[in-house]
Amino acid sequence: MIEKKQLPGILRFLIKLFQIILYIPIQIIFIPFAIIGLIVAIYKEMRKSKKLGISFSAIKALQHRWLMHYFNTRQDHLSIAFTKKFPCESHFGMWSIMGALIISLRLFGFPAKLGKLVEPGEETVDSTAGIRVLQFDKIMEKYVDEMEQIVLPGAGFDLIALRFTKGKKVKVFELDQVNTLNVKVETLKKAAIMHDWINYIPVDYANESWVDKLLEAGFDKTKKTLFLWQSVSLYLEADIVKETLRKMADLCVDGSIIAQDFYSKAFALGEYSKTAKRFMSIIEKMGEPSKFGIDMSNDPKAEVESFLKECGLKTTEYILFGEKLDIEPFYCIVEAEKL
Ligand SMILES: C[S@@+](CC[C@H](N)C(=O)[O-])C[C@H]1O[C@@H](n2cnc3c(N)ncnc32)[C@H](O)[C@@H]1O
């Protein structure tokens, strides 16, 4: 089949023009719904989440998985069913806002920027949220059958554990702050999503011993474990990040893996780009300021390795996003094992 990129320029232009002409009336029909939907979505995401005291950054991550599903980047029926019953997001609101784009993409391939993937090494701030989800899926797929335990500290509303461990022998533990986890479990029940093999452990890393709580919940120090620490360190103080990683290292036996991501110091300080700053300042206003990043201005790999070494860990896999771009990198995903 001929790829769109291979078509002559004039033909590509005409196709795009035709798509825009078809898209406009659909979007016009959606406008009244979009206005109502936006109000409902903002109320639920911002007001209701504050009232319930749950993590706004975790809501945003769930919202991204919803978008990935409808923009054909990653099928995720669990997150859709979850969102429908989730008190802090509006499935109707999301559909009303995005419906015209989704229908146009599905009916005649209208090129939506949302959910668009890029080649490895060409990741930008816009494409990172989606590609990181896919990378963590790959890590989970790689290890799920060889590990005896999986721990997700700061799991938020991510349903990756449900997606990959159903019917498997592996023991799973999810940790997060009490309100966030309570809402997660209540929503899973309302959505009739089976989750009884997952151990949910409420904890605040900043003030409590998550290790004690994990051990009380049945974690076995002698078993091979995968720790998945996705998009959490950005929101913690540097000493808590270090201490948490050191404790994870202590809990690792041979063959255990700690998979995590790091943002750059410039990103955490809001100096990376205007887009990133705008997005992060909303999260900060909702009570979750970015606090931790690694200096990626010079030699990010060496910085990450030396940071992990301080925590008693050795880097085994390292993916730097945006590596091929001519700009300072801001994000990486790393797998590590005990030194
Ligand atoms: C950006 S969300 C990521 C959630 C999930 N890992 C994902 O990828 O969708 C950050 C998560 O870290 C959790 N978190 C932040 N600070 C925490 C703390 N001090 N104790 C426990 N959890 C914390 C938040 O509640 C939130 O669920």
205 lines ligand 1 (CB under 6 A): yes
Using 50, 70 and 90 to split pLDDT, how confident is the model at 1?
low
Does any ligand 1 atom lie closer than 6 A to the CB of residue 130? no
pLDDT tens for residues 126-142? 889 999 999 999 999 99
pLDDT in tens, 302-315: 999 999 999 999 99
Domains assigned to the chain: 7-108 (no CATH), 125-338 (3.40.50.150)
Dihedral over Cα of 49, 51, 52, 54: its sign: positive
Residue nearest to atom 25 of ligand 1 (CA): 55
Of all protein residues, the one whose alpha carbon is nearest to atom 13 of ligand 1 is 154
Rounded CA separation 326/269 (Å): 21
Give the whole-angstrom CA distance, residue 268 versus residue 47. 25
Instruction: Kindly report the average pLDDT of the chain as a whole number.
Output: 94
Top-confidence residue, 1 or 220: 220
Best of 177, 230, 288, 291 to mutate for ligand 1, by most ligand atoms within 8 A of CB? 177
- Tell me, yes or no, if the pTM score tops 0.85: yes
- Provide DSSP, 34-92: HHHHHHHHHIIIIIIHHHHT--HHHHHHHHHHHHHHHTTSS--HHHHHHHHH-TTS-HH
Q: Is the CB of 176 under 6 A from ligand 1?
A: yes
Residue 324, classed as helix, strand or coil, is coil
Residue 275 has pLDDT above 90, yes or no: no
Atom 7, ligand 1: residue with shortest CA distance: 158
Q: Answer whether 155 contacts ligand 1 (Cβ < 6 A).
A: yes
Percent above pLDDT 70 for the chain: 99
**Whether residue 55 has its Cβ less than 6 Å from ligand 1:** yes
| pLDDT (tens digit per residue) in 35-59 | 999 999 999 999 999 999 999 999 9
Residue 207: pLDDT band by 50, 70, 90 thresholds? confident
How far is the centre of ligand 1, averaged over its atoms, from the C-alpha of 156 (Å)?
5
CA of 115 to the centre of ligand 1 (A): 22
Q: What's the mean pLDDT in 81-92?
A: 98
Give CA–CA dist 202/210, Å, rounded.
9
Which position has the token pair 């959490």? 232
pLDDT of 57-84, one tens digit each?
A: 999 999 999 999 999 999 999 999 999 9
